[in-house]
Each structure stands twice: as structure tokens, then as C-alpha cells.
Chains A and B, each alone.
Chain A
């Protein structure tokens, strides 16, 4: 019964979305409050019905209702509960439904918490959001119905890909979607603003918290995915420039640029047209990612569900959404003349440099991802664009980007002085130079990762100098500095922790690339293997079993000198439904690096094993964590919060004056 209830809910949500896509828009145009008032309750209603559908599907998975085709295809009675639930989004139909839950969740959140937005603006935002919802609900209902029955029901399901049966991957898709679907709000804000022609610092203040929330989720989602690859795929790699990874990286890069350019709009009323374009492009890249992943045009290790017929539908949706928004932009953007002027050497100028690098990076990822398709299409020849290309370009772009990133926060608005920034940064420059000399003399490795280390140290020092300057460290008595530190605005922590987080991630990437020690061996019981300063001693294997797999468990004792620092028990698991083997690496994270062991097949004279010491590798994810924490602190900044009372009063006053009569305050 409940699958039909879910299916019905989806249709009802579709109906509500179609109404909200049109009616409040007309209301806003005519200034009819009754038509605009439709938006909020129906936006909440959309969310409730989609959530109900999602709950119905989840229930079908939990009780293993094998009369539902999707449950048969990706579940099994023996799976632990967590993976029965994560199986809901471990397939095409279910993951789209999750996508919809998040899209409508954001719309409902704007309806519920966006009370300070002018009525007509809120109505338009919800309309645009509902247009997207209408399109994607149609896609689900017409091409990817998750509730399709299978009669007669088979007695058992086919199970979920064992690679996906992992806590990291259970939570990876929801976070990722929260991120890239969350950018839909920035998109809807941008399109609504283009329609009513009102863009200024107030608009930037409205859009920024939503973008920041989405960005945090995306950062966490990407980090979680890469961490999963690191411990689950069993060769210690953590980023493969796989098209699916690229699909999530592009909106992240564009979204990061958007967060920074919105600051310029908010503080200086400049870069408005560019910021609107970025907001449109960020979500467009999310949609493109969805298209690439869901259509299967690019076959990759992630493409679990592929069906070209669906691809055409998504491509049409993509063309309509992006094309529509860009047409509107081309038509209206000329009216967004900026009023905030600035010299190239200024905070604004540095933020433009930031945007330039991030936009070029996003474009490079896009170019590299699509290039093989283009060459194949135009010339009929097959080439591969993979990690070596992306790494090369990343290494080439990094120094300029990180240089600007370090000096930007110290630059004055409007007209800055390079000289005074250099003066502020003198200790960081000296420190980095000393470290660079040390690197050249004492460290042995390939030059690119060593350069990464130097750049990481540079960014850490420069970020620390910026904070020191804010709290007047050393130029006032320590207790005054401490008081200033406590009293810093919360968004300052967003800057400091965000930049520090990236520096830590870079150090992690560079350190692990430069210094990883790998031993590829066949070990027999009692044998010891040296890896860097550590000795791995093999203590044999024993069989093990889980709820739906059997495994061979290897045992290693790791010593440094005479002292045992870790015991590692990697597994090789064999699943029966569907039949597959996975390696479960055993990892002991230490602050300066990870000990990593994988056990493989029995070989002549023992077991094959891969043993690593990977210096600094866990800093990659620690850095991402810092970025998310910085975002979270910044999000609680009262002055930026959507519902902050002083702001709200002013905006309501604006709204009551009628939609067309108000220009952005600073214009």
C-alpha cells in the first residue's frame, strides 16, 4: 500500500510545484498579495509530500518489500539496517528522490525563515524554486518512478554494491546533495532579483547565509567521499579526477567564488552583475553534474545507473533552466550598474583575482571532463583526459591563487597599498623563505609537492599574521589583544579558519605526495617489513564473518624502534549478494601521518600485502573540517543572520512601500 501512497504524494507535490511555479509570479507582477500568499504554504506542502514519498520508499527498503522493483534491485534482507536505509539513495531513482527532498526542503526553509524578505521577492524566489521542482518531479514521475511494482515479487533482493556498504558512503550522498542542490537557492535568488531588478548589498546579505550553508555541506560531502575512497578502495588514493568527482568539484569552486564575490556586493555594492552570473553558473554546474552522473554520458566507476533515454530528458531540463536564466541575465544584467568603484590594488581587486582563479579552475575541470566527448564527437577519435592533466593545471594555478589569497585579507578596501601589505607580512615572508631554503637543502622529493609544502606554510603564516594584526598582537598589551580576540566578529573566524583549513589541506596533499613510503610485499608469518621509521610485523591471518560477508583478516603489529605503536587488522571481504570482494584497509591515524595496511590474495609463500606510512595525509580532511567549522561560526554571526531584528524591520518597511518603488539601498 505505502508505495502507492508515496507515488500519489509525488504527484500531489508535482501539482503544488506547478501552481507555485506560476501563481505567485503573476501575483508579484500585479502586486496582488493574495496570489503571492499562495507561495509559502504550498512550498511547505511540496516539501511535506516529497518527504512523505521519501518516507514511503524508505519504509519499503526497511521492511524489504520485494514487490517494489527498486528494492529488489538494490536491497537484500541480510543487509544491516543502516545499509537498507542508505540503499534508498544507492540507485538512480532513489537518489533523485533524495535530490528532490533537498530541493523542496530549501524552498520550505525560505518560506519558513525568510520572513524578512520583501513579500514580492520571496514570492518570486519560491516560484523559481518551484519551477525547478516541477521539472525534476516530472522527470521522476515520467522516467524514473521509484515505486514501480514487480509482480510477482521475488523472494530475495539482489543486494547493494558492497563498495557502497560503508558508513562513509551512507552519508556522503545526502551531504553532497545538501550542498549542490542547496545552491538552487542562490540560483532562485539571482533569477528573482533579475526579475524585479533589485540587487544590492541587501540582496547579498540575504543570499549569503543560504550559499554558505550549501557550501559547508558540499565541502563536508566532498571530503567524506574522498575519505571513503582513501580507506575503502584500498590503494590509499583519495582523489581520482573521476567525472563524478569533478561534477561535485565544479559547483564547489564556483560556490566558493560566489561566497567571495557576494562579500564585495555586500560591502561595496560592486561586482553585482558578475555575482548574479556566478549564482546562476554555480547551480547550473550542479545541474550539469546531475546530468553527467545520471545520464551516463560519461561512463565512470561511479555510474551505477545509466540510461540514455533519461539523459535526453535531463539535458532538456538543463537547457531550459540554464538557458532561461542566462537569457534573462542577458536581458536584464545591463541595468545592474555598479556604484562601488575601486583600484585594481585593493581588497576588491584581490577578490576579483580570487574569482578569476576559481572560475578558471572550474572551467578547466569542465573542459577536461567534457574534452574527450568533444574530440570524439568532432573528430571521431578517442583520447583520455585524466589525473595527469588536472594535476598539471592545478600545480600551475596554485602559486598565483595562494599568493593573492594570503595578501587579500590584509588589503584595504577601495585603494590598497602593496607596500603596507608587504610590511604587515614581513614575518610571514621571512618565515616562508627560511622554510623554502630548509626544503631545498634538507628534504628530498619531487619538486611539485615540495612547492606545495612551501605554499601551505606561506598561507598558514600569512593567515596568522592577518589575525595577529586584527587583534593588534604585540602592538598592545597581551590582555588587550586577548579581549580583541574574544570580541572579533564571527565572520572573521570564517575567514581565518576557512583560509587556514585550505592551508592545512594543501600541507596534507603535498606532504603525503612527497613523503609516502610504500611497501608492496608478500609476507609470511613473523616476517617484518620496514616502511620509513616504522616496522610492520605480520602476525598471520584468521577467517572472520560479518552479517552478509565472510572475510580474511590479516594482523600486523607496527613498531617504531622497540615500541609497538599500532595493531592493524585489514580485511579482504567476500560478499555473496551481489558477489564481490572489497578490501578494508586498516588505518592508524597519527597526527603526523597514517599507518595504512591492506591484505590481499594468498600468494606463493604467504599473503600479498601493501603497507604504507603516509605522512600528513589525514590533514587533507582535517583542513576540510576546519573550513566547515569556519563556515558554521560565520553562519551564526548575528549581523548576517536572515532574521536579525534590526535588518528585518528595515526590509519590511521597504516591502510595504511596494515592490517597484524601492531600489537597493545603496544605489
Chain B
């Protein structure tokens, strides 16, 4: 498996950059207002982190979106870590150490996911190249005369040249 992914390694650098730059906006949600941190900046930071953490018992929801008890507990964990001064990477590391990569909404870019993150770019490139080559080939084929037509042209030319 590892070998298979190596050719995409250089691409992955680009993908990492894209992934970091293109952070999409978090949908605005949350519950348990009483648990909020006093410092609005830290609360906002915690909320941003929550959007990237998966609620483990509910499928495809972040803990920011979910009403499940576990999500509530994890939200408190995130807030505690942020209050203790952790940066977002540290908070995520803390959770990944306990729950695995499964807990991250955004899959990390590594050998397992090169194909995922690079797939769309590869497809776009291959598809584009294929379409271009195809249209070129067809025009080339259409421009050429068949043997029969060649012969006819030749005989017409002969007639003109040797009346």
C-alpha cells in the first residue's frame, strides 16, 4: 500500500497547502450555553475546534452540531483544554491520542489519504488531458483523406497538369 502512494508524495505538499488555506467556514451552532468560557476569544477558539471534532456516537456530525451526551462531554473537554492554554493542534492531539484519527472531521494528510486529497486534482488533470487529446486526434483523423480520396485527388491533379 505504501509503495502505491509514493508517486503522489510531491503532490501532497500542494494538497497540504490547499487544505490549510481553504479552511471552510464553520457552520454556526452550539448548545449548553452555561458551559461557555468567560473569555469570548477563547470561547470562539474552542468553538472552531469543536467544528473539527467528530461526535463519536452520532454519524457524520461534529460535536458542535450534536446534542448527544458524549458530544456535550467532549465539548467540555475541549473547553477545559483551551482554558488550560492549549492551542488547537494540542487539543486535537490530546483527543486523537485517546480516540484515534476517527475523531477528526478533517482527515489528516498522510499515506492513507494522499489518494483522497489528491484524487480530485488527478482526475481533473487526467480528464482534461484525455479530452484534449481526444479532440485533437479526431481533428487529425478528419483532416486526412482516405486512400480512395487520395487517388481521386491525384487523378484530378494529373488531368489538370497533363491536359
Across-interface contacts of A298 in B (CB, < 8 A): 59
Chain A interface size band reads 35 or more
Q: Are A368 and B116 in contact (CB under 8 A)?
A: yes
Q: Are A386 and B54 in contact (CB under 8 A)?
A: yes
Interface string of A349-383 (1 = CB under 8 A from B): 10010001101100110011001000100110111
Across-interface contacts of A385 in B (CB, < 8 A): 107, 116
The listed residue with most B CB atoms (<10 A of its CB), out of A242, A367, A388, A516, is A388
Out of B31, B36, B103, which one reaches A600, CB within 8 Å? B31
CB nearest to A342 among chain B residues = B135
CB nearest to B107 among chain A residues = A383
Q: Are A237 and B107 in contact (CB under 8 A)?
A: no
A375 in contact with B112 given A356-B128, A360-B123 (CB within 8 Å)? yes
Interface string of B94-110 (1 = CB under 8 A from A): 00000011111111100
Q: Are A237 and B120 in contact (CB under 8 A)?
A: no
Choose, from B19-27, B84-92, B147-155, the stretch at the interface: B19-27
Choose, from A29-37, A389-397, A455-463, A628-636, the stretch at the interface: A389-397
Q: Are B107 and A236 in contact (CB under 8 A)?
A: no
Interface string of A476-516 (1 = CB under 8 A from B): 00000000000000000000000000000000000001101
Tell yes or no: B29 within 8 A of A by CB. yes
Q: Are B106 and A388 in contact (CB under 8 A)?
A: yes
CA distance A273 to B124 in the complex (A): 19
Q: Are B113 and A383 in contact (CB under 8 A)?
A: yes
Interface string of B17-47 (1 = CB under 8 A from A): 0110011110111111110100000000000
Across-interface contacts of B27 in A (CB, < 8 A): 235-237, 387, 513
Tell yes or no: B160 within 8 A of A by CB. no
Q: Are B24 and A387 in contact (CB under 8 A)?
A: yes
CA distance A655 to B101 in the complex (A): 61
Across-interface contacts of B29 in A (CB, < 8 A): 235-237, 518, 610
Q: Are A388 and B52 in contact (CB under 8 A)?
A: yes
The listed residue with most B CB atoms (<10 A of its CB), out of A381, A384, A516, is A384
Out of A242, A364, A518, A520, which one reaches B120, CB within 8 Å? A364
8 Å CB interface, B104-163 against A: 104-108, 112-113, 115-117, 119-120, 123-124, 127-128, 131-132, 135, 138-139, 142
Tell yes or no: B76 within 8 A of A by CB. no
Tell yes or no: A576 within 8 A of B by CB. no
Across-interface contacts of B65 in A (CB, < 8 A): 235, 237, 240
Interface string of A220-261 (1 = CB under 8 A from B): 000000000000000111001111000000000000000000
A300 in contact with B59 given A364-B120, A604-B34 (CB within 8 Å)? yes
Across-interface contacts of B54 in A (CB, < 8 A): 384, 386
Q: Are A612 and B28 in contact (CB under 8 A)?
A: yes
Across-interface contacts of B61 in A (CB, < 8 A): 240, 301
Tell yes or no: A522 within 8 A of B by CB. yes
Q: Are B22 and A386 in contact (CB under 8 A)?
A: no
Tell yes or no: B11 within 8 A of A by CB. no
CA distance A378 to B2 in the complex (A): 12
Tell yes or no: A59 within 8 A of B by CB. no
Q: Are A349 and B24 in contact (CB under 8 A)?
A: no
Out of B25, B107, B135, which one reaches A384, CB within 8 Å? B107
Across-interface contacts of B25 in A (CB, < 8 A): 446, 448-449, 513-514
Across-interface contacts of A384 in B (CB, < 8 A): 54, 60, 101-105, 107
Q: What's the nearest-Cβ distance from chain B to residue A331, in Å? A: 20
A381 in contact with B101 given A240-B60, A522-B34 (CB within 8 Å)? yes
Tell yes or no: A299 within 8 A of B by CB. yes
CA distance A391 to B27 in the complex (A): 11
Across-interface contacts of B28 in A (CB, < 8 A): 236, 516, 518, 612
CA distance A240 to B28 in the complex (A): 13
Across-interface contacts of A344 in B (CB, < 8 A): 132, 135
Across-interface contacts of B132 in A (CB, < 8 A): 344
Across-interface contacts of B34 in A (CB, < 8 A): 522, 603-604, 608
Tell yes or no: A566 within 8 A of B by CB. no
Interface string of A291-304 (1 = CB under 8 A from B): 00000001111000
Tell yes or no: A338 within 8 A of B by CB. yes
Q: Are B22 and A395 in contact (CB under 8 A)?
A: yes
Across-interface contacts of A364 in B (CB, < 8 A): 119-120, 123
Q: What's the nearest-Cβ distance from chain B to residue A547, in Å? A: 25
Tell yes or no: B6 within 8 A of A by CB. no
Tell yes or no: A341 within 8 A of B by CB. yes
CA distance A481 to B17 in the complex (A): 49
CA distance A242 to B119 in the complex (A): 20
CA distance A359 to B33 in the complex (A): 43
Tell yes or no: A521 within 8 A of B by CB. yes
CA distance A197 to B31 in the complex (A): 60
CB nearest to A608 among chain B residues = B33
Out of A240, A389, A397, A600, which one reaches B107, CB within 8 Å? A389
Tell yes or no: B62 within 8 A of A by CB. yes
Q: Are B22 and A382 in contact (CB under 8 A)?
A: no
Across-interface contacts of A600 in B (CB, < 8 A): 31
Q: Are B59 and A299 in contact (CB under 8 A)?
A: yes
Q: Are B58 and A301 in contact (CB under 8 A)?
A: yes
Q: A301-B60, A367-B115 are in contact. List 13 more A-B contacts (CB 8 A).
A: A236-B27, A240-B60, A240-B65, A241-B60, A341-B135, A368-B116, A379-B112, A383-B112, A384-B101, A386-B62, A396-B22, A604-B34, A612-B28
